[in-house]
């Protein structure tokens, strides 16, 4: 099957006017100019019309299970205040609430152009019922804590490993997600590192997300340090930055995906780059918490792969009566508004190529090239060719269509 559009933005190659993608058995066989394909392949053609054809977006950090909390929690005074708020909100939820919320989030991703997602799962039971409930390519990372429950770290990790090993992986991989340094223990991190190595799994974790977390581990002070003092051993506080502690724990050697990393110390960027760790920036969540400027320049100058994610809708603001959605287009637009040094192509790469790289999927998603999965989206466009990429990063609303493995999984009703 051949897909033709007014403009092809494959991201991994320069944009093309009147572009086409030849698809067979769920994979891209060829991508280029329509004129170069005509007469060489006899196949059915899907003409997407006045549209930009893009690779499916890659959301490198998401909490689908919290989708129904969209705009429900007002911006907090401190980060620990928000943690308390979401813990309280979750206490009123049952399994069906999480399940409905997850499915709602998955539908939002498809409607807004995401085809691959790194999903953090804190409710283990969700894994059995959700991984086959959506055509999305879902890479599930099982979240682990341990400070509040005071369970044995070896048992926590052992239970996680047993559950993940029994899951189907036809549409996505699995991995471990120690929640954060402050909500786990050094022993749990050690056990997680060992388990990840044995099973060749990636690991993701919230790292240096807030000033409160940074101050807790760097200087043994601040609101998070004071709040957690009665709940956890503080021997790992005041000994170095969160990034440095992650390095010492062995986490950075596991294809590590560090979510947020909003606060750096001296050579932290170089540490991440040396271990080829990736960082995921979530612009709207960043704005919700009023964090300091995201150190994108420092990270990328050091050679760190920086991708984009949506985080959860529990850390987003309402826009009047309109609830926020899990749209990576909204994240790209927010990033463009706060980081004028980035070109449109750079931002598109962060939402596609870099996310694929973070997940170890550079050979299959994040672009449209021979051998990649036929995962792509179409957005309406009637403007000039030269402004196509700029239009793409400022797009809002639902996409015209979303295709995964060459099959249409979302179609706007009027298209």
Same domain, 340 and 379: no
Q: Stretch 23-47: mean pLDDT, rounded?
A: 87
The answer to whether residue 372 scores a pLDDT higher than 90 is yes
Q: Identify which has the larger pLDDT, 71 or 158.
A: 158
Q: Stretch 60-88: mean pLDDT, rounded?
A: 95
The answer to whether residue 179 scores a pLDDT higher than 80 is yes
CATH of the domain at 268: 3.20.20.140
Same domain, 13 and 65: no
Query: Where among 358, 377, 403 does a domain terminate?
Result: 358
Query: Residue 184: what pLDDT?
Result: 96
Q: Stretch 267-275: mean pLDDT, rounded?
A: 98
Query: Residue 8: what pLDDT?
Result: 98
Same domain, 122 and 207: yes
Q: Stretch 183-201: mean pLDDT, rounded?
A: 96
Same domain, 353 and 391: no
Q: Stretch 198-214: mean pLDDT, rounded?
A: 97
Beta strand 278-281 with 305-308 is parallel
pLDDT tens column, 142-162 = 999 988 777 899 999 999 999
pLDDT tens column, 81-91 = 999 999 999 99
Same domain, 270 and 127: yes
The answer to whether residue 321 scores a pLDDT higher than 70 is no
pLDDT tens column, 91-126 = 999 999 999 999 999 999 999 999 999 999 999 999
The answer to whether residue 322 scores a pLDDT higher than 80 is no
CATH of the domain at 380: 2.30.40.10
Query: Residue 294: what pLDDT?
Result: 97
| Residue that has been written with the tokens 């420092």 in this structure | 298
Q: Stretch 250-268: mean pLDDT, rounded?
A: 96
Same domain, 30 and 142: no
Task: Provide the mean pLDDT of the chain.
Answer: 95
The answer to whether residue 197 scores a pLDDT higher than 90 is yes
pLDDT tens column, 374-407 = 999 999 999 999 999 999 999 999 999 999 999 9
Same domain, 146 and 172: yes
Query: Residue 129: what pLDDT?
Result: 86
Q: For the whole model, what pTM was predicted?
A: 0.97
Same domain, 247 and 352: yes
Same domain, 40 and 112: no
pLDDT tens column, 300-318 = 999 999 999 999 999 998 7
Same domain, 118 and 190: yes
Q: Are 367 and 11 in contact (CB under 8 A)?
A: yes
Query: Where among 317, 336, 358 does a domain terminate?
Result: 358
Query: Residue 243: what pLDDT?
Result: 98
In which domain, by residue range, is 23 found? 2-56+367-411
Query: Residue 226: what pLDDT?
Result: 96
Same domain, 117 and 249: yes
Query: Residue 397: what pLDDT?
Result: 93
Number of domains in the chain: 2
Query: Where among 316, 332, 358 does a domain terminate?
Result: 358
Band (131; pLDDT cuts 50, 70, 90): confident
The answer to whether residue 43 scores a pLDDT higher than 80 is no
Same domain, 37 and 160: no
The answer to whether residue 40 scores a pLDDT higher than 70 is no
| Residue that has been written with the tokens 């992986």 in this structure | 169
Q: Stretch 55-75: mean pLDDT, rounded?
A: 96
**What is the Cα–Cα distance from 188 to 178, expressed in whole angstroms?**
8
């Amino acid at each position: 099957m051949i897909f033709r559009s007014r403009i092809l933005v494959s991201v991994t190659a320069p944009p093309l006017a009147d572009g086409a993608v030849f698809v067979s058995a769920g994979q891209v066989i060829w991508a280029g100019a329509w004129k170069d394909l005509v007469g060489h392949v006899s196949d059915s053609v899907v003409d997407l019309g006045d549209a930009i054809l893009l690779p499916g977006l890659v959301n490198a950090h998401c909490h689908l299970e919290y989708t129904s909390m969209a705009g429900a929690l007002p911006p907090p005074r401190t980060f620990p205040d928000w943690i308390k708020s979401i813990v309280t909100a979750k206490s009123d939820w049952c399994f069906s609430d999480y399940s409905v919320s997850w499915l709602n989030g998955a539908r939002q991703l498809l409607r807004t152009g995401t085809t691959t997602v790194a999903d953090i799962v804190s409710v283990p039971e969700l894994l059995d019922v959700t991984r086959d409930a959506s055509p999305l390519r879902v890479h599930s990372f099982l979240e682990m804590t341990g400070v509040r429950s005071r369970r044995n770290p070896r048992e926590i990790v052992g239970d996680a490993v047993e559950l993940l090993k029994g899951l189907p992986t036809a549409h996505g991989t699995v991995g471990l997600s120690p929640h954060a340094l402050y909500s786990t223990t050094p022993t749990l991190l050690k056990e997680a590192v060992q388990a990840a190595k044995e099973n060749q799994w990636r690991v993701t974790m919230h790292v240096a997300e807030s000033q409160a977390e940074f101050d807790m581990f760097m200087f043994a002070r601040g609101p998070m340090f004071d709040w957690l003092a009665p709940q956890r051993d503080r021997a790992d506080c005041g000994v170095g930055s969160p990034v440095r502690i992650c390095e010492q724990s062995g986490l950075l050697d596991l294809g590590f995906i560090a979510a947020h990393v909003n606060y750096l110390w001296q050579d932290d960027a170089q540490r991440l780059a040396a271990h080829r760790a990736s960082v995921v920036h979530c612009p709207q969540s960043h704005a919700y918490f009023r964090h300091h400027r995201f150190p994108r320049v420092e990270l990328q100058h050091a050679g760190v792969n920086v991708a984009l994610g949506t985080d959860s809708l529990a850390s987003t603001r309402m826009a009047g009566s309109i609830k926020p959605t899990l749209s990576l287009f909204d994240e790209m637009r927010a990033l463009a508004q706060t980081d004028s040094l980035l070109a449109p192509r750079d931002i598109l790469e962060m939402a596609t190529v870099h996310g694929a790289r973070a997940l170890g999927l550079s050979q299959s998603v994040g672009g449209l090239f021979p051998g990649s999965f036929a995962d792509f989206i179409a957005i309406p466009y009637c403007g000039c060719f030269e402004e196509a990429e700029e239009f793409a990063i400022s797009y809002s609303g639902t996409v015209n269509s979303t295709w995964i493995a060459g099959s249409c999984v979302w179609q706007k009703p009027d298209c």
